[in-house]
Amino acid sequence: MRKTAILAGCLMAALAGSMAAFAEETDLRAQVEAFYQKLDRATESENLDAFMSCFTPGYMEVWAGPNAAQLKTIIEKNNAELEHITARREFKNITRAGKFVQVLSRVEIKADKTGGGTYEMNLDEVQFLVPDGDSFKIQSRANAKPEQYDPFQGNTCKNETAGVQFSVPEGWVLVPGAHPYMQSVTFMLAPDGTSAAMFGYLELPSNMGAKEGLEGDDAVCKTVAQNFEMFQAGDYAVGDLKGYESVTRFTIPRDDRDRKRWRVYFSGGGLLITFNFDAIPAERWESVKPDFEKILASFSMTPEAQKDAASQVRALTAKGEVAGNIYSNDELGCQIAAPRDWTLKTTSLGSQFKFTVDINPPEGESMVRFLAVDTQGQGTLEQFIKGDMNALKMISKDTELGEVQDLQLSGYPAKLHISRFSIEGFGNIKRKAVYVLVKNILYCIVCDAKPAADFDSLLPRFDEVIQSFTIN
């Protein structure tokens, strides 16, 4: 009888505990949803003050992006250009993460443009809330990829495709993100709400190791950033993985706070594996560096993956078929061909691309890259070219941009421009770039002569590739 009573008591206690946890979870969700109703109504009413009241003064993107003041400027500009705004949000996950409430949601915004036409935005994002009285404020956010949350187990990220694993210290938060040039990206947000880390990998380009990849990224950063300062650079190893490191300090244009960055890159299994650790602001370097070191110390790559992880990555990300010197994509109905003595292969640049294809001559570093991006109706052909040219001017020097020209390609209107530029660590390049927009898919054929002096001799082969492009 006594044993039965004890068992019953234990069951009741467990039931009460689970009911309390459920009630707490339910209350949290209700509070979060009420907060976002306030945010979305401020968006719809174009109430700038009410909108900004939902963000902390120290707000910033998890990795890089506008701070609170810059966000205000962006929203103010949007409000001037849009009317009849509607905002709809679908909550996918609401959880406690360290000192934050982590909210994964999909937001859909529709509006009329004041000059005519419509505006639509569909975005998966994760935001980190901090308590503010009986409500919240947004401390940080990032673009998210909900389908990539599965590899995360508590404070550990385990990626079976690349055969890699690492953990973050207590209080840190793992965020599966997106990056234009990485096949897979994971952001890590520090407990201070601004310092952060980024892990990513991509198929290792030919003739590039960890040292070359890191030096190239530092060279681009030096060109784009302000007040760039290099502290150290040299070899670095975790277990039997050999890599390269650098420590720099700089300010980026989209954020007025300086940061101290520790890059550690590895090459293994045909992948370039990158860790970037940012102390933001830089004065926090000494306090967050021990956590950075713990993350690196936890990193491992299986022996099998070290042999050929790139083939696993490519199998999941490379779409379309290669037959001899021809690439075809049945989903999009497009095709392109390489010159007879050139090589053609699919690559895995980043998840934002529908596909990427590299076409290379028998020798040298010149190449053609063919890729496609789903624009989701967000822009015109002219706008994409302008954006591409502006980005090129930001990262290059001695830049010469030719006039944009019209042409027909596979029966569709297309645009091209020729540019010449240099990037520290990459040398001088002369480029012919062609753009075609078909049913919201932007196709780009980028022909790079490196060195630039080889452009004239390579131009007939470049044009051969361009003219081989067809789409149904």
Q: Where are the domains of the chain?
A: 23-144, 152-300, 318-471
**pLDDT per 10-residue tile (average), the chain, 472 residues:** 39 38 64 93 93 91 80 90 91 83 89 86 86 91 67 75 90 77 81 89 77 86 86 91 93 79 92 92 95 95 86 70 90 92 80 81 91 79 82 79 89 91 81 91 93 94 94 87
The CATH topology of domain 23-144 is: Nuclear Transport Factor 2; Chain: A, (3.10.450)
pLDDT at 360: 92
Fold: same for 152-300 and 318-471: yes
Q: What's the pLDDT score for residue 217? A: 86
Q: Where are the alpha helices (DSSP H) in 298-413?
A: 303-317, 381-395
CB 164 within 8 A of CB 201: yes
Which tens digit of pLDDT belongs to each residue from 213-226? 898 888 878 877 88
- Whether the model clears a pTM of 0.75, i.e. scores above it, the answer is no
- Residue 316: predicted pLDDT: 63
pLDDT at 146: 64
Which tens digits make up the pLDDT trace of 96-119? 877 889 898 888 999 998 888 888
Classified as helix, coil or strand, 247 is: strand
Alpha-carbon gap, residue 119 to 86, rounded angstroms: 10
Nearest to 301 by CA among 457, 165, 115, 149: 165
Could you tell me the CATH superfamily of domain 152-300?
Answer: Mog1/PsbP, alpha/beta/alpha sandwich (3.40.1000.10)
Give the separation between CA 285 and CA 466, rounded to whole angstroms: 49
> Which class does domain 318-471 fall in?
alpha beta
d(CA 56, CA 140): 9
